Amino acid sequence: MNKIRNWCGYDWFTQERWGQIHKNKTQAWYDPSCVNVEADNSISLLTKPSPKSFDIDGEKVLSPNGVGLISCTKRFHYGRFEIKARLPKGKYLWPAFWMWSWDNWPPEIDIFEGYSSKNFGYFRPSINNPSLWNVESNVHTRGVKAPPARDHWLGVSSPDSRYIRYALEWRRDSLKFFYDDRLVRTVDDKDVMDYLADHRMNVVINNMIRNAAPEGYSELSNFNIKYFKYEQYWQ
């Protein structure tokens, strides 16, 4: 399995730890050539046409796109997780900074997931979405009711035109989400926090092509991440 060694103090796989393609997301596969460490030590996670065949459940599937993904080899628990990133420009893109359990899925904590559209990038204004942008946080659980996904205020300029600091503070009693040091969300339901307490988490940063893209669609894009930081908390 290919690795990026010692980026921001950690080793990273250049695919999901279970493989190079998700059987329900065959529009793209995790291509190591789509992960580039730049001269300034930032990482670029690309999307590009890179057809490759896979055997999925006994059937041959041609995946048209390579995408960049890094998956940290460390097992994380309580702490502050932060990246500084500019989202990729393009249609039908799905960049994300998230984590999921080393034991099973769920749980999953999405510090953010961005969804670009066919025509308007991440722009999605509505009465029900005063944040303007289709960039959201989320928590997935099993057997415990979790709060729904939620969009957050990111300012008036698009997140694909500037760098934003995205962070999570995970403590025993709460999850606190910060965008550019602004607290945008707190999750502190006791059942949710008790459920998360027993899990060590795998940090993942990735670019992706959305399932909403037309069959065979390809897009050139670059999701650039300046750094990853982790500060351990003990509770």
Q: List, in order, residues 6 or more apart from 194 with CB less than 8 Å away.
A: none
Question: pLDDT, tens digit, for every residue of 155-208?
Answer: 889 999 999 999 999 999 999 999 999 999 999 999 999 999 999 999 999 999
Q: Provide the domain count of the chain.
A: 1
Angstrom CA distances, 104 to 18, 43, 167, 195, 208, stand at 11, 27, 23, 13, 22
CATH (domain of 50): 2.60.120.200
Range of the domain at 200: 3-232
User: Which runs of consecutive H residues, i.e. helices, occur in the chain?
Assistant: 190-197
Question: What band does 153 get if pLDDT is binned at 50, 70 and 90?
Answer: confident
Burial class (CB in 10 A: 0-12, 13-18, 19+), 41: exposed
The pLDDT of residue 119 is 87
Is-contact 94 194, C-beta < 8 A?
Answer: no
Joined tokens for residue 42: 């930032």
